[in-house]
Amino acid sequence: MKTVLTIAGVDSGGGAGVAADLKTFAALGVHGTCIITSVTAQNTRGVLNSFDIPVGFIKEQFDAVISDIRIDYAKTGMLSSPDIVRTVASLVKKHKLQLVIDPVMAAEAGGKLLRDEAVSVLIEKLLPLASVVTPNVFEAERLSGLKIKDIKGAEKAARKIHELGAKAVIVTGGHLQGTDVLYADGEFTHIEGKLLKGGTHGSGCTHSAALTAELARGTPLIEAARSAKKFVEHAIVASEKIGGGAGPVNQLGHMIEESERYYVIKNVEEAVDTIETKMAAELIPEVGCNIAMGVPNATSISDVAAVSGRIVRLKGSPHAVGCVAFGASSHIARIVLTAMQFDSSVRAAMNIRYSEDALEACKELGLRMASFSRKDEPEGVSTMEWGVAEAIKKEGRVPDVIYDKGDVGKEAMIRLLGKDAKEVAGRAIDISCAMAGKK
């Protein structure tokens, strides 16, 4: 197992600093060691006070770790005073550590973490030792002396910081529409991302720690930067508000997403099995049917799983053609994504053949129903997105059933919606049973 070292402060709220670093290291499968430089009285609202560890004890921590444990990569975080910066720079240089610098200057929740008089020492003594430095926009402005308003400004600042001694620079993009700017070996690489909803307390620490872990494992810099970017995005999406201020990121976000995607695949597969064994084939439209389910917070077709082909009639029974996969069906996925915009708990949908008997069965089962007319469909819009949204607006909430009676060259259709694929498949079975009971 690779072993990494964080040299940083302690956030008593557990969201940033050493706590964020160690959680990130563990999530990425490397062993984390730590040297504490400062202790803060901090919560989600901000830093109330801080206490610097005496430099003599910082040296003792260093000696204890380095004398016994091989360090594959190290990172720095909060180094609040000139003396602490000098001490850490001296020890990093002495032990020839490969180093990621997160030039922490202020807490995400509020509060200064790097004294003004320490900035020049950091630039002079520590930056030349960095394999990579990862400032945000405000930190990059302070280090470079340049104002940053856009990507071009970030590029100029990154080049300037490189000239101060850092081998590579990543200006993180939380204030650049989500795009990180990497400068290394005389070339710029833009690492695109998203501006995401969620807590960001500890996001800078988490990003630099993820980068450190990837570099320790031998990942090339550009790939490591992309992985760190993706890791922190998952952590932001999975964040939870635990206090009155900024919510801390969740370093298990990538694992949570993987487990959610696995759950969705299994849920749709079980729903398909139910449809194949229990649903009447007469509910399958001429164009075939499909069933889909999205992950929580789904925003694109790639976040929605469906049958890669369709469910068709074969020898008088429903039969799925293809396997269940994400991004497999644009048509049914758009129904799910549109419904989720109105109610995020409604994550599944299925289309079945339109008939008056099927509608009557839906009524008997007490399902909430809404419809739209394809004759009213504006030009240049997606039927699924417009029609589903139109029906939801008419109902005032996401109904269980949305149907239309078709138009010239367009087959009439019933769409079933629900919280998961198995619930939707169950409704289709109930409808087929109700219809059978009428015969």
Contact partners, residue 295, CB within 8 Å, separation at least 6 = 257, 260, 261, 264, 303, 304, 347
Q: What is the DSSP string of 172-226?
A: --TTTTT-EEEEETTEEEEE-----SS--BTHHHHHHHHHHHHHHTT--HHHHHH
Pairing of strands 401-404, 73-76: unpaired
- Nearest CA to 242 out of 210, 202, 206 is that of 202
Describe the chain by its helix, strand, coil percentages, rounded to 5: 45, 20, 35
Neighbours of 350 (CB within 10 A): 28
- Nearest CA to 7 out of 140, 123, 98, 68 is that of 98
Backbone angles phi, psi at 313, to 5 degrees: -85, 130
Whole-angstrom CA distances from 257 to 58, 252, 278, 298, 321 are 38, 9, 31, 11, 27
**What one-letter code names the amino acid at 172?**
T
- Nearest CA to 28 out of 4, 11, 6, 12 is that of 4
Overall fold of domain 3-251: UDP-N-acetylmuramoyl-L-alanine:D-glutamate ligase (3.40.1190)
Q: Please say whether the beta carbons of 62 and 53 come within 8 A.
A: no
How do the pLDDT tens digits run along the chain, 439 residues long? 999 999 999 999 999 999 999 999 999 999 999 999 999 999 998 889 999 999 999 999 999 999 999 999 999 999 999 999 999 999 999 999 999 999 998 766 556 677 888 899 999 999 999 999 999 999 999 999 999 999 999 999 999 999 999 999 999 987 778 899 999 999 999 999 887 888 889 999 999 999 999 999 999 999 999 999 999 999 998 998 999 988 999 999 999 999 999 999 999 999 999 999 999 999 999 999 999 999 998 999 999 999 999 999 998 999 999 999 999 999 999 999 999 999 999 999 999 999 999 999 999 999 999 999 988 888 777 777 899 999 999 899 999 999 999 877 788 999 999 999 999 999 999 999 999 876 5
Provide the strand spans (E) within 12-157.
Answer: 31-43, 46-52, 73-76, 99-101, 132-133
Q: Please say whether the beta carbons of 288 and 329 come within 8 A.
A: no
Domain positions in the chain are: 3-251, 256-437
Check residue 2 and give its pLDDT. Answer: 98
Check residue 85 and give its pLDDT. Answer: 96
CATH number, span 256-437: 3.40.225.10
- The Cβ-side half-sphere exposure at 117, using a 13 Å CA radius, reads 5
Check residue 46 and give its pLDDT. Answer: 87
Check residue 301 and give its pLDDT. Answer: 96
Check residue 413 and give its pLDDT. Answer: 94
